[in-house]
């Protein structure tokens, strides 16, 4: 059938688990539009692997011709948590798919719902739909492991859900328009915006991981807090004992972080940042000596949620950039290892676009 733009509402799915937004820390907004659509076809091939499961679907048009579509899903972790089995879609399956359409009339779709010919559907009917902006925990209950840091006013250890107050990590930085320096604007204008290094399974680094919706665990080690983000199983140490980075400390994607408490607010400053992207659109981060990030974690009176504000100082911008997020405790959340990342689909895309050989030659 031909492409049909519909007005179906995906909000019920987003409130269950914000899958269409959950992968926006990659290049969702670069690849897909806000227009929704529906296709019907047969699965020809697919790969259920991070950073994004991909499926190739053959669609028969009204005139009898056939068109190959590519479906992209959220991360394996997000899909599995929402009830998607690894073998849910197999070659030969006849399916109807709803989702966000590819930009520039590309035959691509970001999956928001699937119904198979046998009636199986995703999201399944038994998914518990929760509002990501609500806190689902019990007042008065202790969710922490232990308060070890003597300067801490209360225990912040334990698991935290970062879908709370989440929104897409593309075009989310203030102020607008983006206050580029001349150097930053030139670099951004020459960025290949679809060539997101996270799609090659390179860890996204601090400015982006702060904005991601994946859960994190905080461990209070007394002289430091360890934040463990399940995305890419990334650890981060925030030193609370006043130490400074060694003179020969190299620039790294997560930088070097030190923290202190200002009353009931945790303040973290990070230096020694490596260059990278601030979001999936390719906004650049220069990193180096003049780049730093300041975060403020403001906890609710009941300690069951917090507001996070990140301020980015970097030579590619004439003013600081600000990103806002939240985190919440959760009864049902479990901290589990993130599934391995496989960049095969990235290189498959390059091959399909006829760019793979040129990229290989450029590396030689």
Give pLDDT, residue 355: 84
Give pLDDT, residue 82: 81
The tens digit of pLDDT for each residue in 247-292 reads 999 999 999 999 999 999 999 999 999 999 999 889 999 999 999 9
Alpha-carbon distance of 162 to 136, in angstroms, equals: 13
Give pLDDT, residue 27: 55
Both structure tokens of 333: 């959340």
Give pLDDT, residue 3: 36
Alpha-carbon distance of 290 to 256, in angstroms, equals: 14
Alpha-carbon distance of 23 to 50, in angstroms, equals: 11
Residues 52 and 31: beta-carbon distance below 8 Å = no
The strand pairing partners of 40, in sequence order, are 96
361 has pLDDT over 90: no
> Residue 115: what are its φ and ψ, rounded to 5°?
-125, 125
Which CATH number is associated with domain 4-130?
2.40.50.140
Higher model confidence: residue 307 or residue 231?
307
Q: Does the domain at residues 158-328 carry the CATH identifier 2.60.120?
A: no
Cβ neighbours of residue 278 under 8 Å, at least 6 residues apart? 173, 207, 208, 284, 285, 312, 321
Give pLDDT, residue 25: 37
Give pLDDT, residue 101: 93
Every domain of the chain and the residues it spans: 4-130, 158-328
The tens digit of pLDDT for each residue in 112-169 reads 999 999 999 988 877 667 788 999 888 888 899 999 999 999 999 999 999 999 987 7
The tens digit of pLDDT for each residue in 51-74 reads 889 999 999 999 999 999 999 998
Which range among 90-104, 149-163, 184-198, 311-325 shows the weakest confidence by mean pLDDT?
Answer: 184-198
Other CB atoms within 10 Å distance of the CB of residue 241: 12
Residues 271 and 292: beta-carbon distance below 8 Å = yes
Alpha-carbon distance of 360 to 356, in angstroms, equals: 6
Burial of 149-173, coded b for 16+ CB within 10 Å and e otherwise, reads: beebeebbbbbbbbbbbbebbbebb
Residues 271 and 294: beta-carbon distance below 8 Å = no
> Residue 338: what are its φ and ψ, rounded to 5°?
-70, 140
Alpha-carbon distance of 6 to 305, in angstroms, equals: 37
Residues 276 and 207: beta-carbon distance below 8 Å = yes
The tens digit of pLDDT for each residue in 3-55 reads 333 322 232 233 333 333 333 334 566 678 888 999 999 999 999 998 889 99
């Amino acid at each position: 059938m031909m492409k049909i733009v519909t007005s179906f509402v995906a909000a019920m799915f987003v409130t269950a688990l914000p899958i269409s937004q959950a992968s926006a820390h990659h290049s969702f907004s670069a690849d897909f539009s806000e227009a929704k659509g529906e296709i019907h076809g047969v699965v020809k091939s697919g790969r259920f692997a991070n950073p994004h499961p991909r499926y190739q679907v053959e669609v028969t048009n009204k005139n009898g011709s056939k068109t190959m579509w590519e479906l992209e899903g959220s991360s394996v972790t997000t899909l599995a948590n929402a009830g998607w089995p690894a073998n849910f879609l197999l070659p030969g399956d006849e399916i109807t798919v709803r989702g966000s359409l590819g930009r520039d009339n590309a035959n691509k779709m970001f999956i928001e719902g699937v119904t198979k010919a046998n009636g199986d559907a995703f999201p399944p009917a038994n998914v518990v739909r929760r509002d990501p902006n609500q806190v689902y925990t019990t007042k008065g209950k202790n969710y922490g492991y232990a308060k070890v840091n003597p300067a801490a006013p209360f225990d912040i250890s334990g698991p935290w859900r970062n879908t709370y107050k989440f929104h897409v990590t593309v075009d989310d930085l203030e102020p607008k328009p983006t206050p580029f320096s001349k150097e930053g604007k030139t670099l951004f204008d020459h960025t290949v915006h679809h060539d997101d290094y996270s799609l090659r399974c390179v860890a996204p680094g601090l400015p982006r991981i702060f904005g991601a919706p994946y859960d994190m665990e905080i461990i209070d080690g007394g002289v430091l807090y360890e934040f463990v983000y399940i995305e890419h199983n990334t650890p981060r140490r925030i030193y609370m004992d006043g130490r400074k980075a060694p003179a020969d400390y190299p620039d790294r994607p997560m930088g070097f972080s030190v923290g202190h408490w200002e009353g009931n607010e945790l303040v973290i400053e990070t230096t020694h940042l490596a260059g990278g992207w601030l979001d999936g659109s390719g906004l650049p981060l220069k990193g180096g000596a003049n780049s730093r990030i300041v975060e403020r974690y403001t906890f609710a009176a009941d300690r069951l949620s917090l507001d996070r504000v990140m301020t980015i100082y970097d030579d590619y911008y004439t003013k600081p950039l600000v990103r806002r997020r939240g985190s919440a405790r959760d009864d049902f959340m479990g901290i589990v290892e993130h599934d391995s990342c496989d960049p095969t689909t990235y290189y498959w895309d390059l091959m399909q676009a006829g760019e793979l050989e040129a990229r290989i030659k450029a590396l030689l």
